[in-house]
Structure 1
């Protein structure tokens, strides 16, 4: 636990033990569809596997009708006939062919999971930038948004490179927030005044330095600078007791001063 004291205030910052996925509590721009044998990741969906998802997205792009299904079957047959180097190569080629068509209607980014002493997620591969990533990471899905929704989000009439960049950046920011959730990078604070709880807020997520900036923006003006003086405390309860004792002394002194002033006023009036 981290703590800073600036009498009469004491600020405590600690990890938030009650983690709630940002996909459940926040409105989001993109839709995260993931497939993993052990973990329930991203947004809820009813697709059986990634093949089912891509096929549905493909048909949604070309048409959910007989003509669309024939186009899908023809595409699979053509791609399969060109690749005779193993099922994995053929499967990857079919996926890429479907995504090329899907991109006519949707913007998509891949989702990679790193599962090594904890979980992490990114829109970029972990290979080459995380230990043992070649064994402990891989693609688990996609985050996507329709071009129509992207145009509405950015109040635009035409899909341009600039709009695409904005949409990609927004989807990446949502993945970054989800990554913080998976990593357990979630914090909260309690603010005490004169030994009593004055305010608290939980659910600050992300890089700790950014979290502190967000907390400072939330705190009263006279307490904002306390986030720069946080120190690790092994026995915060003892400190709170000390603050309570100090607060009681202040209250007693104020009461005595008030009583003394009242007596002086009575004596003055009697004269």
Structure 2
């Protein structure tokens, strides 16, 4: 099952009904949803990315937010056919544009702890990386949905908002388990 990747226009028959995979034209920017742990602060002159913030410069940000009072990861922009962001600079062409961070105070409040342990910090880092990846999928237009058509061609079910091309990790197989069965 790991070899399956979604693409717009993918169609199959399933239980006598046609299932079509569609790009999500009305995908929600994941940075606008409530419940994000981290805040993405970018200082790119070409693109407006991340969350709104009041920092004038990266130096202003670093004066207020640092490794001592927050868990923060760098964000790099890879420009090609699409914008791609990552916490890893995997090409020399990528440039540092900002950070994703969460303050230790916010961690204490959200997780109801007095101290941020190494184990909790590792969990936080993983969650921040997931948030960056989800935003990356959004920026690249890799948000999908599906429509199920009856034999008459009428849509009888649809669901959208699956971020990323892998139907297992984006949750689509939870709704159409037989569609991807081998």
Asked whether the two chains share a fold, i.e. TM above 0.5, the reply is: yes
Name whichever structure is richer in helix by fraction.
1
Q: Is residue 2:15 matched to residue 1:2?
A: no
Q: Is residue 2:30 matched to residue 1:28?
A: no
Identify the residue that residue 199 of structure 1 maps to in structure 2: 157
Please give the alpha-carbon distance, in whole angstroms, between the structure 2 residues aligned to 1:122 and 1:6.
Answer: 36
Identify the residue that residue 73 of structure 2 maps to in structure 1: 109
Report the count of equivalent residues: 173
Q: Is the contact made by 1:13 and 1:189 (CA closer than 8 Å) also made in structure 2?
A: yes
Q: Is the contact made by 1:34 and 1:42 (CA closer than 8 Å) also made in structure 2?
A: yes
Identify the residue that residue 41 of structure 1 maps to in structure 2: 49
Determine which of 153, 161, 172 is the counterpart of 2:129: 172
Name whichever structure is richer in strand by fraction.
2
Q: Is the contact made by 1:36 and 1:140 (CA closer than 8 Å) also made in structure 2?
A: yes
* Greater RCO structure (CA 8 Å; 6+ sep): 2
Q: Return closer, same or farther for 1:26/1:183 CA change in 2, 3 Å cut-off.
A: farther
Write out aligned runs for 1:89-100 (5 A): none
Greater Rg over alpha carbons, structure = 1
Q: Is the contact made by 1:185 and 1:208 (CA closer than 8 Å) also made in structure 2?
A: no
| Superposition TM-score, scaled by structure 2 size | 0.85
Q: Is the contact made by 2:10 and 2:22 (CA closer than 8 Å) also made in structure 1?
A: yes
Determine which of 99, 113, 117 is the counterpart of 1:156: 113
Offset at residue 6 of structure 1 (A): 3.1
Please give the alpha-carbon distance, in whole angstroms, between the structure 2 residues aligned to 1:151 and 1:40.
Answer: 30
Q: Return closer, same or farther for 1:6/1:145 CA change in 2, 3 Å cut-off.
A: closer
Cα displacement string for residues 48-103 of structure 1 (whole angstroms, at most 9, x for unaligned residues): 22122223x15xxxxxxxxxxxxxxxxxxxxxxxxxxxxxxxxxxxxxxxxxxx32
Please give the alpha-carbon distance, in whole angstroms, between the structure 1 residues aligned to 2:45 and 2:88.
Answer: 21
Q: Does the residue aligned with 2:168 lie in a helix, a strand or coil?
A: helix
What RMSD over aligned residues (CA atoms) do the two structures have, in Å? 2.0
Please give the alpha-carbon distance, in whole angstroms, between the structure 2 residues aligned to 1:209 and 1:217.
Answer: 9
Cα displacement string for residues 201-220 of structure 1 (whole angstroms, at most 9, x for unaligned residues): 11211132336x6223124x
Unaligned runs of 5+ in 1: 59-101, 128-133, 230-271
Offset at residue 192 of structure 1 (A): 1.4
Q: Is the contact made by 1:12 and 1:191 (CA closer than 8 Å) also made in structure 2?
A: yes
Q: Is the contact made by 2:167 and 2:173 (CA closer than 8 Å) also made in structure 1?
A: no
Q: Return closer, same or farther for 1:209/1:217 CA change in 2, 3 Å cut-off.
A: closer
Please give the alpha-carbon distance, in whole angstroms, between the structure 1 residues aligned to 2:33 and 2:158.
Answer: 19
Q: Is residue 2:138 matched to residue 1:181?
A: yes
Q: Is residue 2:26 matched to residue 1:18?
A: yes
| Superposition TM-score, scaled by structure 1 size | 0.59
Cα displacement string for residues 102-152 of structure 1 (whole angstroms, at most 9, x for unaligned residues): 32221111111111221111111123xxxxxx2x31110011111122233
